[in-house]
Structure 1
Amino acid sequence: MSIDIHVTDDYRITSDAHNYIVLERYTADPTKAPDWPKRAAKGADPTPKERWREVKYCATIPQAARQILDLSVRQSDATSLAEVVAKMEAVRDDIDRSLSPTDTGKITPS
């Protein structure tokens, strides 16, 4: 059995026997595939689909949470330090909410 923790809308943490795995949500558009004309001729569905991809393997849950924080900030559209700090606080709140149902601790960046 493995864990499956939805941390934010775009990130979740799963596990295998050796690691905690950070997954990132993305949208796969089948019409962008090289073989789309052939698949379309056979009646394939052109609807984009939500998928999850592995982006980082971590040894501990706190490492995985810090990776989500870091990835979220790096991929944000912040244009000032104040916006970066606001994004970090929002993601930290999501992480704390998903990993700590009793609010017993905060995840801090290393």
Structure 2
Amino acid sequence: MSIHITIDDRFVITSDAHQFILNQRVVGKAGKSAGEERLVPLAYCPTIPQLVNVLIYQHVRESDVRSISELAAKILRIGQKCEAAFSSEEHHNENP
């Protein structure tokens, strides 16, 4: 059984038998795939903590934070997004 957890409007976590996969949602802009959404794998991680770290690094690299306190706040928000997404998924799986 594979997972499919939406973290936010940009990132989705999926899995296979061996790893967790951090995917970025991409919408085709031209040609045959114009307007179609697809998932582009960004990282393959054997554990959830590693996957969350990659997600944090991805957000931090793309951010415009200017201080350690802004960085800490950004990391906290990402953690809260993950917690909410995982909690939502657990609740969804408990009520088939």
* TM superposition score normalised by structure 1: 0.66
**Which structure 2 segments of 5+ residues have no match?**
89-96
Instruction: Give 1:27 shift.
Output: 3.3
Give the structure with the higher percent helix: 2
CA distance in 2, matches of 1:59, 1:81: 29
Percent of pairs with identical residues = 34
Structure with the greater alpha carbon radius of gyration? 1
Runs of 4+ in 1 over 3 A off after TM superposition: 47-50
* TM superposition score normalised by structure 2: 0.74
**Which structure 1 segments of 5+ residues have no match?**
31-38, 102-110
> Of the candidates 69, 75, 81, which is equivalent to residue 88 of structure 1?
75
Tell me how large the CA RMSD over aligned residues is. Answer: 2.2
Instruction: Give 1:21 shift.
Output: 0.6
Task: Write out aligned runs for 1:2-81 (5 A).
Answer: 2-30=2-30, 47-81=34-68
Instruction: Give 1:65 shift.
Output: 1.6
